[in-house]
Structure 1
Amino acid sequence: MQVSPWTAPLRVKLCGIRSRSDLAAALNAGADALGFIVGARHRTEDELTPAAAAALVALLPPFTGSVMVTHLQQATPIIELIREVGATTLQLQDGIAPQELQAIRSAQPGVKLIQAIHVGDGDQSIAAAIAAEPLVDALLLDSRTADRIGGTGLPHDWSVSRRIVEQIGKPVILAGGLRPENLQAALETVRPAAVDVNSGIETASGAKDPQRAEAFVQICRRWGPLPLPPR
């Protein structure tokens, strides 16, 4: 029997892990996956060297997913990085040409691919999601600013995200300005397959806050799987 992704439990990724204390906070909170930023071209405080990311990925226990997040757009350096870091999933945070995606898929067939879609104009965002869907395993809906393509701390228009979820057959991950205080409303509006948080669970110094991380994950655990109606 094939299981629809919409009836699976909500999955939770905590992103921007950059230290052992961040990693411990995420694991103790019960995150399903942890994100490590490597290869940044836009503003971020969370970039790691490939060696530092690989050292943290090696500490993950069984059944916890590792996601390498990159801003790079060319297949060759991305393939080199994912091999060094050893993550099981690759999140492409910037736009990337279809042939580059295909090259990554051919070189790393065992690595799951996530493409970020920056939600702005509704029609353009939906068209971008539909175009990317056949090339990847999941889509991530995020916010962006003039200098950041992730980690903005700003929500986008969730009604557009909901329209994308309704039109996409692959799992859709909601990101962008999520925090414990607005997560329930975001889930009720968008009904994603997974959520992704970074700055929304951080202290003022940028470290992951164990209490906020746990609060975020617990809201997700209480969220019952509600399948979308057939389109």
Structure 2
Amino acid sequence: MTRVKVCGFTDEADLAAAVSAGVDAVGLIAGVTVETPRGIPLAEASRLAETVPPLVSTVLVTMPADVAETRDRIEQVGPDAVQVHGLDPEAVATLGDAPADVIAAVDPTDTDLNAYAEAADALLVDSIDAEGGGGTGETHDWERTREIVDSLDVPVILAGGLTPGNVAEAVETVDPFAVDVASGVEREGGRKDHDAVEQFVERATRARVVP
């Protein structure tokens, strides 16, 4: 069954609603260099992470300048996993001993996907913008991402433009380890639509993969 990560929480009510809907992971965006209504201070990310119950993973989504800054942010927030944007494969590899799983955010057209797959615990395939950030709300070539899933021996998380309306098709096409959504389940920037979150989880987890 495909796992579900909902990203970009800014308050406890939305986070609790997502947990009740059955998400596997929640993403907290902090320490990023792009403008986003989902960004929160690192201290707030730490506070929200502490409210997440056992068996639901917390993911710090961040854009660090280097490995040292990544380690500092992991220590400050204490997530189960860190999703890094903007680090090269060599930098990602040096985080192998960090006290959190490492998810590398990549574009499906990247030429160094093999290197990222060897360095990270998982890949998040997203539509990356010119500044290195994801969360563009745009879909990408799902057939290309299916090729990545089939060719790389690493969990692949599908992101980019997913909504309750298209997530089942995305799962059936790509067969990802997990799907990730932020703006696709929002009623406004940074605030989740609780009904949309429930629909997204239900449709993602019930979708059947096409052989």
Question: What is the TM-score when the length of structure 2 is the normalising length?
Answer: 0.93
Residue among 158, 179, 201 paired with 2:163? 179
Residues 155, 176 of structure 1: 8 Å contact kept: yes
In structure 2, list runs of 5 or more residues that go unmatched: none
Alpha-carbon shift at residue 151 of structure 1 (Å): 1.3
Q: Percent of aligned pairs with the same residue?
A: 37
Q: 1:52 to 1:168 in 2, by over 3 A?
A: same
Q: 1:29 to 1:148 in 2, by over 3 A?
A: farther
Question: What's the counterpart of residue 35 of structure 1?
Answer: 27
Question: What's the counterpart of residue 114 of structure 2?
Answer: 130
CA offsets, 1:149-193, max 9 Å, x none? 211111011111111111011111000000011111111111111
Aligned equivalents of 1:215, 1:39: Cα separation in 2: 30
> Which residue type is aligned with residue 144 of structure 2?
V
> SS at the partner of 1:217?
helix
Aligned equivalents of 1:150, 1:193: Cα separation in 2: 18
Residue among 6, 16, 37 paired with 1:24? 16
Q: Quick check: 1:114 aligned with 2:103?
A: yes
Residues 16-95 of structure 1 aligned to structure 2 (within 5 Å): 16-95=8-87
170-179 vs 147-156, greater mean Cα deviation: 147-156
CA offsets, 1:170-217, max 9 Å, x none? 111000000011111111111111000000000034301100000000
Q: 1:194 to 1:203 in 2, by over 3 A?
A: same
Alpha-carbon shift at residue 33 of structure 1 (Å): 0.4
How many residue pairs get aligned? The number is: 211
Q: 1:211 to 1:148 in 2, by over 3 A?
A: farther
> Which residue type is aligned with residue 51 of structure 1?
A
Question: What is the TM-score when the length of structure 1 is the normalising length?
Answer: 0.85
Aligned equivalents of 1:145, 1:136: Cα separation in 2: 21
Computing the radius of gyration from Cα coordinates, the structure with the larger value is: 1
Aligned equivalents of 1:189, 1:102: Cα separation in 2: 30
Residue among 88, 102, 123 paired with 2:93? 102
Q: 1:139 to 1:76 in 2, by over 3 A?
A: same
Alpha-carbon shift at residue 71 of structure 1 (Å): 1.1
| Greater than 6 Å deviation, 4+ residue runs | none
Q: CA RMSD in A?
A: 1.7
Residue among 155, 164, 175 paired with 1:191? 175
Q: 1:75 to 1:146 in 2, by over 3 A?
A: closer
CA offsets, 1:128-147, max 9 Å, x none? 22121111111110012345
